[in-house]
Structure 1
Amino acid sequence: MKILSVGNMDGLSNTCLHRHWALEKIADEIDVVNTSGFTSLWYRIAYHLFLYGLPVRIPENQKENEQIVKKVSSTHYDIIWIDKGVTIYPETLKYIKEKSPQTIIISYSPDNMALRHNQSQQYLECIPLYDFIITNKSYILNDMRKLGAKDIRFINNSYESSFHYPRILTNEDYKQLGGDIGFVGAWEKERCESILYLAKHGLNVRVWGGGKWLKYKGMYPNLVIENKGLYSEDYSKSFQAFKISLCFLRKINYDQQTTRTVEIPACGGFMIAERTAEHKAMFEEGKEAEFFSSNEELLEKCQYYLIHEKERKQIADAGLKRCQISGYSNENTIRNVIESILNEKS
């Protein structure tokens, strides 16, 4: 099986790169088109014009459409996997179909692509041209069909087994990266309110994120706000270094699960996440992870598990085992969806 993998491959913490690594394990041969690049002024202007409702295409980063056409003109691919694909033109997908009708074109995105802030004009034009669209948002299937999706499929979030795994931490790792309760990620109103609630009630909380979080620096003596996020090795280590890792969902995307849903337990961390039906289906509550539906419940559970280390460790170990047994890794998840598609096509 020969695959062309298209996406933003920059940064070791990049989930697109992690999916590319999984494709490398699955394919017999693989080529790549890296769409990463500097966000130009015109890119930002075009994106905001699109947000205001104008049919303006955002510019490419690396002449990726030309690269794809060039590769397809000289090589037959069984699958072209396009990650996010907001800079890919419909003309490019039409060329692929004309040149190689048997090639299966798959779109994947970790974002809610039914929402305009995640889309682009060319992405909207491309939706009907993809053979399959893969999403980790179960609730957007009908919305995507209304936008023209021919075949859209839901998969759970997945983790990269060569990046998200338990490390042997030093005392310095625990000191530099961890603490009692931790969160790694961007500011959002609801998650901020939850963290401030914990701090207000005397619990030690550490936030890695910078940006808007810095506004709350010094608000409580037991609230530590770091002026940056965590990436690469430190990102994975932090989930182990914290006694409790918080998992919040992006309200702007209406998430029911997120990448941290699987990354935290896959790294050997103890996770408390917002309670949803999808979370409860992926991990058994009280045995493989913990969940909360209010700040009061979050506080109560954090207070309990901070002083019950044995139970905390048992749940973290069980969460890791669940990730492995249920095949939540990128390789297993992507292999299964590709095999399903190929079996239908054969």
Structure 2
Amino acid sequence: MKILIIGSKKNNTTDYFYYNLLKEKGYNIKIFESHDIFNEFYYRNIFNKILFRLKLSNIYYKINVALKKIALNDYDIIWIFKGMEIYPSTISYLKNKTTAKIVNYNGDHPYIYESRGFGNKNVLNSIKLYDLHLSYSKEIQKNLINKFNVQCKWLPFGYEWSKVNQVYHDKKIGCFIGNPDNNRAQIIRQLTNNGIMMHLYGNNWIKHIKENKFIKIFPAVHNEEYLSTAQKYRFQLNIFRNQNKDSHNMRTFEMPAFGCISLNPYSKEQTSFFEENIECFYYNDNNDLISKAKHIINLSEEEAYKIKQNAYNKSISSNYKYSDRINILESYFNEII
């Protein structure tokens, strides 16, 4: 099977996880870094940002011209991740000029966008053109099928790597690792206003929340530092964006794979992965969040460490790793070619 991925070649992107895993399995696979090309242009200087926002830039046009040339190379699958840079007309062109099946995977919501970076008219207007959609969310899968009459399969998130948590004497503090927005800041204030200490790691938190005796802010952490930071706290807070409601997100799998206690928003889909009170905790509203956080903080070190080990063991025994997701993906691709 010959596959062309359209997306990003940056580390820690889902695109690149799948690219490397498919390559390791021996597939003839290439990646066209449409997203990286756009970001390199957009973030180069303020002038480029202004040009793009005023619709005076031709960066999308250049990306689409390049893609049309690259794609004419007898691929079986052309797999587009989100597709903000790809014109609907380009997808139609590829369907007419190649025999490849065109597949879309969107790690956000395909037609409801919280902000500029979550989607655009290219994503929305291309929905009906794909031979197959892949979604992490069963709810989004159902909505795509019913609203747009397209073929859609469920492909949950996963984790890239795991490590046993050997930190027995943890900090009895909650932690959130990620960048801020108003909703995240509001939820964290619910905890700190009720006496629960939180440590926040990410960029620009100081613009959204002030430090006090219950809130400490630290720079962003990545790779090994991300893992070691996560493991030393009593719990890791998970906060859904709107598109994750009734579903799950990447952190659903990341933190248990590090042997961390996750405090997650409740969803039926998420409870199918990890058992409540045994492998993680779920909250339904602000009052429940505060109650569960206090309960986790008050666990003995032995009780907390047991839950961390349960979470880790469930992760590695349940085929939640991205390398396990490849088996699901292969079956979907084989159905359409």
Q: TM-score range by the shorter chain?
A: 0.7 to 0.9
Match of 2:141 in 1: 141
Match of 1:113 in 2: 110
TM-fit CA distance, 1:196: 1.9
Q: Residues 300 and 148 from structure 1, CA distance in 2 versus in 1: closer, same or farther, beyond 3 angstroms?
A: closer
Q: Residues 59 and 133 from structure 1, CA distance in 2 versus in 1: closer, same or farther, beyond 3 angstroms?
A: farther
Q: Residues 28 and 337 from structure 1, CA distance in 2 versus in 1: closer, same or farther, beyond 3 angstroms?
A: closer
TM-fit CA distance, 1:157: 1.8
Match of 1:329 in 2: 321
TM-fit CA distance, 1:65: 2.5
Match of 2:71 in 1: 72
TM-fit CA distance, 1:248: 1.0
Match of 2:222 in 1: 231
Match of 1:122 in 2: 122
Q: Residues 59 and 112 from structure 1, CA distance in 2 versus in 1: closer, same or farther, beyond 3 angstroms?
A: farther
Rounded to whole Å, the distance in 2 between the matches of 1:192 and 1:333 is: 33
Match of 2:266 in 1: 275
Any conservation in 2 of the 1:114–1:140 contact (CA below 8 Å)? no
Rounded to whole Å, the distance in 2 between the matches of 1:135 and 1:20 is: 17
Decide which of 64, 86, 103 is 2:84's aligned counterpart.
Answer: 86
After superposition, the C-alpha distances for 1:251-278 in whole angstroms (9 at most, x for unaligned) are 3664631111111111221111111111
Rounded to whole Å, the distance in 2 between the matches of 1:45 and 1:145 is: 35
After superposition, the C-alpha distances for 1:194-233 in whole angstroms (9 at most, x for unaligned) are 3223223333210112335544223x3121022x433333
Decide which of 172, 177, 184 is 1:191's aligned counterpart.
Answer: 184
Name structure 1 gaps, 5 residues minimum: 47-56
SS of residue in 2 equivalent to 1:234: helix
Q: Residues 188 and 202 from structure 1, CA distance in 2 versus in 1: closer, same or farther, beyond 3 angstroms?
A: same
Q: Residues 258 and 188 from structure 1, CA distance in 2 versus in 1: closer, same or farther, beyond 3 angstroms?
A: same
Rounded to whole Å, the distance in 1 between the matches of 2:327 and 2:54 is: 38
Q: Residues 335 and 99 from structure 1, CA distance in 2 versus in 1: closer, same or farther, beyond 3 angstroms?
A: farther
Match of 2:332 in 1: 340
Rounded to whole Å, the distance in 1 between the matches of 2:144 and 2:58 is: 23
TM-fit CA distance, 1:82: 1.0
Rounded to whole Å, the distance in 2 between the matches of 1:245 and 1:59 is: 42
Match of 1:54 in 2: none
**Identical-pair percentage:** 23
TM-fit CA distance, 1:142: 4.8
Indicate whether 1:314 and 2:306 are aligned.
yes
Rounded to whole Å, the distance in 2 between the matches of 1:214 and 1:123 is: 31
Rounded to whole Å, the distance in 1 between the matches of 2:208 and 2:185 is: 11
Any conservation in 2 of the 1:127–1:149 contact (CA below 8 Å)? no
Decide which of 222, 243, 246 is 2:237's aligned counterpart.
Answer: 246
Match of 2:53 in 1: 44
Match of 1:284 in 2: 275
Name structure 2 gaps, 5 residues minimum: 43-47
Give runs of ≥4 in structure 1 deviating > 4 Å. 167-171
Rounded to whole Å, the distance in 2 between the matches of 1:318 and 1:59 is: 52
After superposition, the C-alpha distances for 1:83-106 in whole angstroms (9 at most, x for unaligned) are 1111112333233323332x2211
Any conservation in 2 of the 1:272–1:289 contact (CA below 8 Å)? yes
Match of 2:45 in 1: none
TM-fit CA distance, 1:283: 0.6
Alignment length (residue pairs): 323
Rounded to whole Å, the distance in 1 between the matches of 2:52 and 2:164 is: 39
Rounded to whole Å, the distance in 1 between the matches of 2:232 and 2:23 is: 31
Any conservation in 2 of the 1:245–1:264 contact (CA below 8 Å)? yes
Indicate whether 1:13 and 2:5 are aligned.
no
SS of residue in 1 equivalent to 2:74: coil
Rounded to whole Å, the distance in 2 between the matches of 1:329 and 1:58 is: 40
After superposition, the C-alpha distances for 1:312-339 in whole angstroms (9 at most, x for unaligned) are 2222222222222221222222431331
Rounded to whole Å, the distance in 1 between the matches of 2:186 and 2:89 is: 46
Q: What is the root-mean-square deviation of aligned Cα atoms in Å?
A: 3.0
Match of 2:152 in 1: 152
Rounded to whole Å, the distance in 1 between the matches of 2:165 and 2:311 is: 18
Rounded to whole Å, the distance in 1 between the matches of 2:286 and 2:186 is: 8
Match of 1:211 in 2: 204
TM-fit CA distance, 1:14: 2.8
TM-fit CA distance, 1:158: 1.5
TM-fit CA distance, 1:31: 0.8
Rounded to whole Å, the distance in 2 between the matches of 1:69 and 1:45 is: 25
SS of residue in 1 equivalent to 2:176: strand
TM-score normalised by structure 1 residue count: 0.82
TM-score normalised by structure 2 residue count: 0.84
TM-fit CA distance, 1:147: 6.2
